[in-house]
């Protein structure tokens, strides 16, 4: 794995890690090696705690800031860690794990329903995608079965990288029209599900994912809502 990646991408299973404070003010706290995932791509920012010599603070959310992550303290925080201090980061693993499972499940949903995606949202127990879909699917049971079949195949979930120019030449890789690919560094992260002849999905994504589809667990297809003449919102729930 690339060593210049933030910790939440280089090892999404890491729950605790040290870092040094590079800035701390009313807007939040930035660290040199952030473990906390910043809100983006429909995935909520991580929550958790920071501790340091003589202090502790709860983190209510994490936001994107200057190409990195800014940790936002919970209301009522008494003191911020000083700039230069070494802190121990600890994320709320239950929330992160749920987001990883749901996010990967939504990638599989975009495989089972191969239509343009106009929006989406990720929670710790369920998520949804909005599709350009004039008519609601006729066989929800078949979609749910196809999703769970992909989960059961225990496909590897890996990351790769592509240059901005190469991505521009491959517009077919971009499924989500409402969320721009994570650009800004000259390269874009791709998330791949399956490998070789077993590859089922490859698309730009900056979020956190499970390592194998079997880790998602069983899925239940939720309600399908009409969100306009050409749009349907499809929910997926973790069922176990």
Same fold, 7-91 and 96-238: no
What's the CATH class of domain 7-91? mainly beta
The CATH number of the domain covering residues in 96-238: 3.30.980.10
Q: Which of 208, 204, 129 is nearest to 172 (CA)?
A: 204
Q: What are phi and psi of 204, to 5 degrees?
A: -65, 140
User: What letters, b where the CB count within 10 A reaches 16 and e where it falls short, cover 51-67?
Assistant: ebeeeebebbbbbebee
Q: What are phi and psi of 53, to 5 degrees?
A: -60, 105
User: Would you state the pLDDT for residue 1?
Assistant: 38
DSSP string, 40-92: BTTBPPP-EEEEETTEEEEEEEEEEETTEEEEEEPTT---PPPTT-EEEEEE-
List, run by run, the mean pLDDT of 10-residue segments along the chain (240 residues).
76 98 93 96 96 95 91 86 97 98 98 94 97 90 98 97 82 69 74 96 95 98 92 95
CA atoms within 13 A on the CB side of 91: 27
The domain locations on the chain are 7-91, 96-238
User: Would you state the pLDDT for residue 179?
Assistant: 60
Q: Tokens 């590859």 appear where? A: 199
User: Would you state the pLDDT for residue 180?
Assistant: 61
User: Would you state the pLDDT for residue 52?
Assistant: 96
């Amino acid at each position: 794995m690339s060593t210049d990646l933030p910790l939440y991408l280089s090892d999404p299973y890491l729950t605790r890690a040290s870092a040094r404070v590079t800035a701390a003010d009313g807007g939040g706290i930035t660290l040199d090696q952030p473990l906390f995932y910043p809100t983006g791509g429909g995935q909520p920012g991580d929550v958790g705690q920071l501790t340091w010599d003589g202090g502790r603070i709860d983190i209510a959310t994490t936001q994107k800031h200057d190409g990195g992550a800014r940790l936002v303290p919970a209301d009522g925080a008494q003191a911020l860690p000083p700039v230069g201090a070494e802190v121990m980061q600890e994320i709320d693993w239950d929330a992160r794990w749920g987001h990883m499972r749901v996010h990967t499940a939504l990638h599989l949903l975009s495989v089972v329903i191969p239509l343009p995606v106009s929006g989406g949202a990720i929670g710790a127990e369920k998520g949804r995608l909005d599709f350009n879909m004039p008519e609601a699917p006729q066989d929800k049971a078949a979609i749910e079965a196809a999703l769970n079949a992909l989960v059961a195949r225990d496909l590897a979930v890996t990351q790769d990288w592509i240059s901005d120019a190469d991505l521009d030449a491959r517009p077919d890789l971009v499924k989500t029209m409402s969320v721009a690919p994570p650009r800004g560094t000259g390269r874009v992260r791709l998330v791949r599900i399956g490998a070789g002849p077993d590859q089922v999905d490859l698309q730009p994504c900056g979020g956190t994912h499970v390592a194998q589809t079997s880790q998602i667990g069983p899925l239940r297809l939720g309600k399908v809502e009409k969100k306009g003449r050409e749009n349907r919102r499809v929910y997926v729930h973790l069922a176990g």
